[in-house]
Amino acid sequence: TQHKNSVETIREYVNLLLVKGAIGKPNSGTCPVRGHSNVQGDRSVGIMHQVNKTLNAKIEEHLGFTPPDHEGVDVVGAMEAMYTNKGKVFMCLGGNFLSAASDTDYTAEAIQNCKLTVQVSTKLNRTHLVTGQTALILPTKGRSEKDLKQGKERVVTTENSMGRVRESKGILQPASGNLLSEPDIVAGIAHVYFKGEHPLDWKALGEDYDLIREKIDLVVKGFDNTKERSKGTGYYLPNNVRERNFSDLPKGKAKITVNELPAHRLQTDEFMLMTIRSHDQFNTTIYGLDDRYRGVYNERRVLFMNPKDMAQLGVQQATTVDLSSTYDGKVRTAQQFKIVPYEIPSGNVAAYFPETNPLVPYNHFADRSRTPISKSVRVRIVKEQGCR
């Protein structure tokens, strides 16, 4: 998904499934994994920057207030807003924004332009060190920790990548008795901000998650009696394909798409870089310095390279090199990577992220989805002086 033509690539996968007849029957079909940490569930209940008019109307009808009717910003838009001083307050509900986003130097400068940055976090990470003029860290409970309120156990509700909604509760003792949960923090801010003058009782919502589930049931399609149905194995949200309801499609049938192949025009001294993860990491969390499946130990600043390309460039295993990318006349650099010979197509190289994120231009992304082109970055390789 991290190419200029990533949407077209996904469409071709869907084309293949359609041609095979692998849609709308058991053990087949697409598996659109949105991400971890309940990202799937976030979108289902309306946490997105696009406006959902149907949802807005339901909120106004059942919850008594009018939500914004203008679009927000995605990650790229947020970076641009902060960089140009249009965005002045940046609040993160978890995550490691600086290390996860593309174009690290640009992102860092954007964050530092903010008047206020707030991190709701379970542990420290790089983003806590690059801040706005005023910075707050609000520690919170992790989903693995017990969540008690006045002696009563509280559980959150999540949706997995298959659209199943179920309860989730922690079993570990919290790191501190003073920790608040994320709902406590968000609802507490709203309660203080509105001073009780709002149709919703934010204080009560932060204390009793069942009330939140009841509100979701009122306004979000597919959610019904979530308090009870999410217990045990939970329940599935509606899925048109699983239910073989194709009425929304033209003439009740899917359309095969025709997609153009991308043309990658590399200069003679350029390679195509894809950023990857090691065995010992999960997204931006680095648990260790080994990548045993690729034979790398105690090192992360490595560049995987085809042996024939190595010979042509005049480098050997463990040669230290610098990388640069040039987009729109701007040169970006990342330094000190050790060459590792690897079975990779000639003209292509690979290296770990987030170490190579500084090379990925923030304003070059997939058409439609605006996902960074982190799997197809044009780079140049320069040997450090004195290296063989």
247 three-class SS:
coil
**Cβ-proximal residues to 303 (8 Å cutoff; 6+ apart), any chain:** 321, 323, 337, 338, 339, 340, 349, 350, 351, 381
CB atoms within 10 A of CB 143: 17
Q: What is the dihedral of CA 33, 37, 38, 42, to 10 degrees?
A: -100
The dihedral of CA 57, 62, 68, 74: what is its sign?
A: negative
Quick check: 345 pLDDT over 90? yes
More confident residue, 24 or 64: 64
What does pTM read for this prediction? 0.92
With pLDDT > 90 as the criterion, what percentage of the chain qualifies? 84
Q: Nearest Cα to 6, choosing from 380, 379, 364?
A: 364
For residues 234 and 225, the answer to whether their CB atoms sit within 8 Å is: no
Q: Look-up: residue for tokens 């009782």?
A: 201
- E-strand stretches of 53-147: 89-93, 116-121, 134-139
Quick check: 381 pLDDT over 80? yes
Spatial distance between the Cα atoms of 302 and 284, rounded to a whole number of angstroms: 17
**CATH number for the domain running over 270-383:** 2.40.40.20
Give the pLDDT score at 33.
76
Task: Calculate mean pLDDT across residues 322-338.
Answer: 98
Q: What is the dihedral of CA 369, 235, 208, 61, to 10 degrees?
A: 60
Domain boundaries, the chain: 6-236, 270-383
Fold for the domain defined by 6-236: Rossmann fold (3.40.50)
CB atoms within 10 A of CB 118: 20
pLDDT digits 0-9 by tens, 46-105:
999 999 999 999 999 999 999 999 999 999 999 999 999 999 999 999 999 999 999 999
Quick check: 385 pLDDT over 70? no
- pLDDT confidence band for 387 (50 / 70 / 90): low
Give the pLDDT score at 161.
85
Task: Calculate mean pLDDT across residues 342-351.
Answer: 98
For residues 334 and 313, the answer to whether their CB atoms sit within 8 Å is: no
Lowest pLDDT segment from 218-232, 256-270, 373-387: 373-387
pLDDT digits 0-9 by tens, 118-142:
999 999 999 999 999 999 999 999 9
Give the pLDDT score at 386.
54
Give the pLDDT score at 48.
92
Quick check: 336 pLDDT over 70? yes
Quick check: 347 pLDDT over 70? yes
Spatial distance between the Cα atoms of 176 and 81, rounded to a whole number of angstroms: 36
- pLDDT confidence band for 316 (50 / 70 / 90): very high
